[in-house]
Amino acid sequence: MADSTPRLELSKIQGLSLPVYHSWLEGRSIFYAPGMLVGVEQAMLKTFVQRLSGLASQSGEFNAQPEDHQLDPLAKEIIQAAQLARQTWQALQASPFNPLCLTLYPNTECNLACRYCFAQPISGDESLHLSLPAVSAGARLVAANCRAAQQPLTVVFHGGGEPSLDLSWIESALCIVEDAADRAGLPIFRYIATNGVMPEENAAWLAQHFDLLGLSCDGPPDLQRLQRPQRDGHDTSAAVERTARVVRQAGKPLHVRATITPQAIRRQAEIAAYLCEILAPQEIHAEPVYASLQLSPADRFQPDQASAFIASFLEARQTALRYGVAWKMSGSRPGEIHGPYCQVLRSVLQLIPGDSAAACFKACTASQAQVAGAWIGAFHPASNSIVLDETIVKRIQGAVLGLRGKKDGCPGEACFNFYHCARDCPDFCELAPEVHPAGFRCQVNKLLAASMLTETAFANLGRQPAWSVAIKL
């Protein structure tokens, strides 16, 4: 979508107890509730709002009524979508933490020196490791939950540091998790996120043992060299390209994670073309660089860069589409009800070096988790189990899932994007007590969601006299 293209400007409908929003688009009235978009002719606006008000009680319940107007089926659809969004949100707040995915951070070491890394990897004797008994206890806990929920078990290897540095550890951990899944009679899905800088035989081993590989690559060699060099300063492009080739030749799916920095803000289409042509993944996840403290202000995005970021992002999405590749970002996913990235909201048990469990993907050691207020439990050798502190889990759920936005400038449910927005996480943590102004990510999330909804609205605009479409973006 070009910058000059009209974009939905959705405002909450005043006086309605449920989250339903309205905007004009090319002379038509567009209504939105999380999961549903409805268009009606301009002349129908007043009647449609009256029908909506009749269907939503003051307490936000759905008032079942006989359908005695041609607009009632659409009004009912959108009111029910709004009610479902709010109920899903309340269930997220209330549900016990029963993780269905096991995410392992094996170590705190890395062979690269990415200039924006939040993990602060440690080399040599001081590096920390996750123990195999902790992995075993975590696998049993997650397998029991998966069996109860009749879901496959997902295991993710991530860092922290680079997870593939010690393949014999990975092999042992995989065996342990596979055994736990097997004993519970569960299918297993194995994913590893890697920097891809490894000998060819290691890449072949990973491709053989994992169902999906996520490769970090920031684009053409000049960007990769600048942003993701080896610790000794050497270039990493050739190794990453080789790893991608090995994965493709093994017939395994490949996703790429590209970090977009302020320096590359306008180069996203070029990055997309390089990644599609040379690495040829199925999906590319383009994420704005995290504003970690070691970055200088010039290396962090500012809120007024959001429009330029999204314009370039959407251009890159078109480029990737021409190669049949999805170009995505995770901050706002209008097809899902979601909040920030906290693992306790995503049913993920994240085990980190020091044998602790953390609620935040940025916490790579027990001490980092403690400082962030995201430490939620640990492996207890005496009971050979992972012991989670439910009080801390509840506190985190409550802190990040309030119905009002916490920071200045986030009006909570009054924003159309509230039910699918990661807020300013991870630049500003929702667990931090201080209130902060709405940042770059808020603006980006809002613009991206509005752009995607506008595209859907445009695709349906010609339908007469009224239409609805479910949002699956």
Window 441-460: residues binding ligand SF4 (CB under 6 A): 442, 445-446
Q: How far is the CB of 205 from ligand SF4 (least distance, A)?
A: 31
118 binds ligand SF4 (CB under 6 A): no
CA dihedral for 24, 27, 33, 37, sign (positive or negative): negative
Which DSSP category does 461 fall into? T
425 binds ligand SF4 (CB under 6 A): yes
- Region of residue 214 (phi > 0: left; psi between -120 and 50: alpha; otherwise: beta): beta
CA distance 203 to 216: 14
Q: Is 418 helix (H, G, I), strand (E, B) or coil?
A: coil
**204: enclosing H helix or E strand:** helix 200-209
Q: How far is the CB of 150 from ligand SF4 (least distance, A)?
A: 28
Q: Tell me the DSSP string of 162-199.
A: -GGG-HHHHHHHHHHHHHHHHHTT--EEEEEEE---S-
Helices 306-322 and 440-460 sit at what angle, rounded to 10 degrees? 50
Number of residues that bind ligand SF4 (CB under 6 A): 25
Nearer to ligand SF4 (CB atom), residue 361 or residue 379: 361
Q: How far is the CB of 427 from ligand SF4 (least distance, A)?
A: 8
Nearer to ligand SF4 (CB atom), residue 359 or residue 466: 359
Identified binder of ligand SF4 from the candidate list 400, 401, 450, 453, rule CB under 6 A: 400
Token representation of residue 259? 């970090």
174 binds ligand SF4 (CB under 6 A): no
Which DSSP category does 466 fall into? E
Q: Are 81 and 36 in contact (CB under 8 A)?
A: yes
E strands, 333-382, where? 348-352, 356-358, 375-380
101 binds ligand SF4 (CB under 6 A): no
Q: How far is the CB of 422 from ligand SF4 (least distance, A)?
A: 7
From the list 185-193, 206-214, 293-301, 438-446, the region that binds ligand SF4 by CB under 6 A is: 438-446
E strands, 304-374, where? 326-328, 348-352, 356-358
272 binds ligand SF4 (CB under 6 A): no
405 binds ligand SF4 (CB under 6 A): yes
Identified binder of ligand SF4 from the candidate list 75, 374, 453, 471, rule CB under 6 A: 374
How wide is the angle at C-alpha 458 spanned by C-alphas 327 and 328, nearest 5°?
10
CA dihedral for 43, 447, 411, 397, sign (positive or negative): positive
Nearer to ligand SF4 (CB atom), residue 138 or residue 439: 439
Q: Is 176 helix (H, G, I), strand (E, B) or coil?
A: helix
Identified binder of ligand SF4 from the candidate list 20, 184, 369, 415, rule CB under 6 A: 415
Token representation of residue 70? 């041609």
Residues in the chain, overall count: 473
Q: How far is the CB of 207 from ligand SF4 (least distance, A)?
A: 30
Window 303-342: residues binding ligand SF4 (CB under 6 A): 340-342
Q: How far is the CB of 400 from ligand SF4 (least distance, A)?
A: 5
Helices 200-209 and 167-183 sit at what angle, rounded to 10 degrees? 10
Q: How far is the CB of 81 from ligand SF4 (least distance, A)?
A: 17
Amino acid at 48: F
430 binds ligand SF4 (CB under 6 A): yes
- Region of residue 234 (phi > 0: left; psi between -120 and 50: alpha; otherwise: beta): beta
Q: Are 158 and 193 in contact (CB under 8 A)?
A: yes
Place of tokens 């990040």: 400
From the list 69-77, 274-282, 307-315, 439-447, the region that binds ligand SF4 by CB under 6 A is: 439-447
Nearer to ligand SF4 (CB atom), residue 412 or residue 465: 412
470 CB burial (10 A radius; 0-12, 13-18, 19+)? exposed
Nearer to ligand SF4 (CB atom), residue 269 or residue 364: 364
From the list 13-21, 139-147, 360-368, 381-389, the region that binds ligand SF4 by CB under 6 A is: 360-368
From the list 168-176, 178-186, 220-228, 358-366, the region that binds ligand SF4 by CB under 6 A is: 358-366
CA distance 422 to 19: 18
431 binds ligand SF4 (CB under 6 A): yes
Q: How far is the CB of 192 from ligand SF4 (least distance, A)?
A: 21
417 binds ligand SF4 (CB under 6 A): yes
Q: How far is the CB of 10 from ligand SF4 (least distance, A)?
A: 10
349 binds ligand SF4 (CB under 6 A): no
Helix segments in 298-365, DSSP class H? 306-322
Q: How far is the CB of 323 from ligand SF4 (least distance, A)?
A: 30
- Region of residue 26 (phi > 0: left; psi between -120 and 50: alpha; otherwise: beta): left
Window 33-52: residues binding ligand SF4 (CB under 6 A): none
362 binds ligand SF4 (CB under 6 A): yes
Residues that bind ligand SF4 (CB under 6 A): 340-342, 359-362, 374, 400, 405, 410, 415, 417-418, 421, 423, 425-426, 429-431, 438, 442, 445-446
